[in-house]
Amino acid sequence: MELAACPSLWAYGAVWLSFLLLGFLRFSNSDVVLTPALLLYVVLLVLIEWLCHLYLPIALGILFLSSACWYVLGIVSPRKTLPVEAKVVFITGCDTGFGNVAAHKLDSMGFKVIATVLNLESPGAKKLKKICSDNLTIIQMDLTKQEDIKKAQQTTKLHTAGRGLWALVNNAGYCAHFGDAELTLMSTYKGCMDVNFFGTLELTQALLPFIRYAKGRIVTIGSPAGEHSFPYLAAYGSSKAALNRVMDIFRHELMPWGVKVSVILPASYKTGAHDNHIHWEIQHKKLLANLPTELLQEYGEEYITETQNKFLKFGDTACSDFSPVIDSIVDAILSENPKVKYYAGKNLWILYLISIYLPHSLSDNFCKSLFLKNKVLPRSLRKQKSNE
């Protein structure tokens, strides 16, 4: 038994020696430290070796362990970054939120930044003018207006002459309603599509010649709502789903041109009009005023009001630290090999694990625990229950 085990021990030992040697070569000149995640990977590799040693033939076990070691080296290796010098970045939606913070961050790193805002006199625009360098250019742009996109194209051409546009960061987005898909006005569906999909697509097409010239990057802020069927986010989620899809198509089609395309999927963050209660009150009144009378009677105003209030309270638990998203934007712009998708936010992986890999009976209950927590049922359902 001992003699039979010797070839196996020597073979697995050779794999570990190669793994340690490659790891030393990759990390000796980097800032990588022993993080809990790195230690966990090592423990998993030890477990894999034990299982291979017990249940697989030597050749197959060596192949399996070698593949696992190579995969771990790939995901924990320090990412090679490109220089910032002479690179121009175009960012949309810089009045507030991710766009505002990203514009400041990239400007401080030495990029030539073109930042778009809806209002040149907004607090966010004024803040950028005050704290950023002369390398930052702020322009007014509404993604739903073709003339604004054409002006943005001309501005970009002026600022990128001879070098092209290194990165477009599609950040601007619009969400106007939390509520049932049946209760969502067609104007809301169209409004979300006009900004989140059509406007972003039109701008991307307008700037692509400059991006192709630089063999640059397209970085788009998507949303998990575009990948998962979250209740009460039909208009927003549908527009983001369309955006995620077209960006992935761009990724395939632009590979021959040397352009890399990434989508960032943030967790829940306090962005946009989250704290603007006047905005949500106006949207709520608009909805009630435009719903068909019969539909309003079926659901009841009290149910519609509670749904919106629930979502606003849910937003109070959102994260105010944008750094995971900003770090993802920077990596997507500067990494030699940026990721296709960035999952930016604590515990976001749990959502994907449950939604994708668990049976629908379990994932539906998880979704219900997050969203479908109304104490007030639609009026017609309450009547049906009372008559039972």
Question: Would residue 236 show up in a list of annotated catalytic residues for this protein?
Answer: yes
Per residue, what are the HEC states of the chain? Answer: CHHHHHHHHHHHHHHHHHHHHHHHHHHCCCCCCCCHHHHHHHHHHHHHHHHHHHHCCHHHHHHHHHHHHHHHHHHHCCCCECCCCCCEEEECCCCCHHHHHHHHHHHHHCCEEEEEECCCCCHHHHHHHHHCCCCEEEEECCCCCHHHHHHHHHHHHHHCCCCCCCEEEECCCCCCCCECHHHCCHHHHHHHHHHHHHHHHHHHHHHHHHHHHHCCEEEEECCHHHCCCCCCEHHHHHHHHHHHHHHHHHHHHHHHHCCEEEEEEECCECCCCCCCHHHHHHHHHHHHHHCCHHHHHHHCHHHHHHHHHHHHHHHCCCECCCHHHHHHHHHHHHECCCCCEEEECCCHHHHHHHHHHCCHHHHHHHHHHHCCCCCCCCHHHHHHHHHC
Long-range contacts of the stretch 56-63 (C-beta < 8 A, 24+): 58/7, 58/8, 58/11, 61/8, 61/11, 61/12, 62/11, 62/12, 62/15
Out of 236, 299, 303, 342, pick the active-site residue.
236
Residues that are catalytic: 236
